[in-house]
Structure 1
């Protein structure tokens, strides 16, 4: 292999990469908060006994799960401003696109967690006279969240990685900055290698934590 690696050109680009990393983390964090909160409410809608609530929620989940995330991002960035004739900040638009995508996947994770709540616990809520909202937030949500936590965290890692897709619509995230540096310096191999290592360093600790949580849950079940 005759290629000579040269990372020296990145010495003066650390500030740009850090700024891009900041945007990436903002996108991922905001989208995860949105997905965690809205995902649970969407889960409740999907499991509603009323069809006029359940069907739109199911359609939302299937749409975002069955269409490419890249297509969703492009649609949000170019079609929504045309429809509402109003400019929305690119980062806010990125959070909206990524957050709604994550909401759909988290809703399914929550649904599995809700279905795992023992029926006896729900019967006890009725016997204690708890109101539906009290039963939902004090009994169902904690147990569903605990059961779904590994999947929710895995989905969060996926959103961090999918945030790189906003580079295609010129949001100055880590991937967009890397693309600019690679084009200017004609060093795509070094640039994308460094960026890949950054994403890996961000994702690996969360991935290992997911494995730890899964092992503890499996151990608790086998007791």
Structure 2
């Protein structure tokens, strides 16, 4: 093998990678905002005693959990415009695909957390005369959010990594810019190694926060 490493060929063109990283961060933040809010709504629908409300929510969760994210992204980009005559920007489509995917997984995290809320807290809310909406917003949501936080953060890391899949539909994220740079410089090893380190540098600190939260919760429960 006569391949000679040349990191300078990549670092001299680091600007496009930074622009791609910014797009990736935007996708991740928007998808997480959507996933956190919609996921809680999905969890409430899944727990609904009304069958006509519960079943569509369960179908939504199972569809996004049981199909590959790459298929969901491609479907949104190519099928939504054809079926619904709805044409949105590539970033918007990416956010929708990633956000709905995340909402399904977050919905399951919220569901488990809601079911873990102590019965005493629910009874106290009723005793205080809170309405079902007030009880949900002021009692159930804060407790469920605290219980589900490690899983929500983990799901956020996963969606940050899965955002690389939007490169296949020409969203100029970090992975897309890396592919372009590797083709232009003929330096795939250096380019994709650097990109892997960038993903690691962003994901690792969050994973450490998740571990700290889990240890803290374990101590509190003990």
TM-score range, shorter chain: over 0.9
CA distance in 2, matches of 1:89, 1:3: 40
Please name the residue that 2:68 is paired with: 68
1:192 aligned residue: 192
Would you say 1:208 and 2:208 are equivalent positions?
A: yes
Aligned to 2:117: 117
What residue in structure 2 maps to residue 18 of structure 1?
18
SS at match of 1:135: helix
After TM superposition, which residue ranges in structure 1, 4 or more long, deviate above 3 angstroms? Answer: none
Question: What is the SS of the residue equivalent to 2:6?
Answer: coil
**1:83 to partner: Cα distance:** 1.2
Moved more, 208-217 or 4-13: 4-13
Shift of 1:9: 1.1
Number of residue pairs the alignment of both structures matches: 222
Counterpart position of 1:78: 78
- Normalising by structure 2, what TM-score? 0.98
Give the Cα–Cα distance (whole angstroms) in 2 for the partners of residues 11 and 124 of structure 1: 59
Instruction: Could you tell me which runs of 5 or more consecutive residues in structure 1 were left unpaired when the two chains were aligned.
Output: none
In the TM superposition, what whole-angstrom CA distance separates every residue of 1:115-142 from its partner, at most 9, and x where no partner exists?
1101111111111111000100100000
Q: State the 1:3 CA deviation.
A: 3.5
The Cα shift of 1:4 comes to 2.1
**Partner SS state of residue 12, structure 2:** helix
Residue matched to 1:101: 101
Report the CA distance between 1:195 and its aligned residue: 0.2
Deviations 1:78-135 (A, max 9, x none): 0001112232100000000000000000000001110110111111111111100010
CA distance in 2, matches of 1:84, 1:20: 30
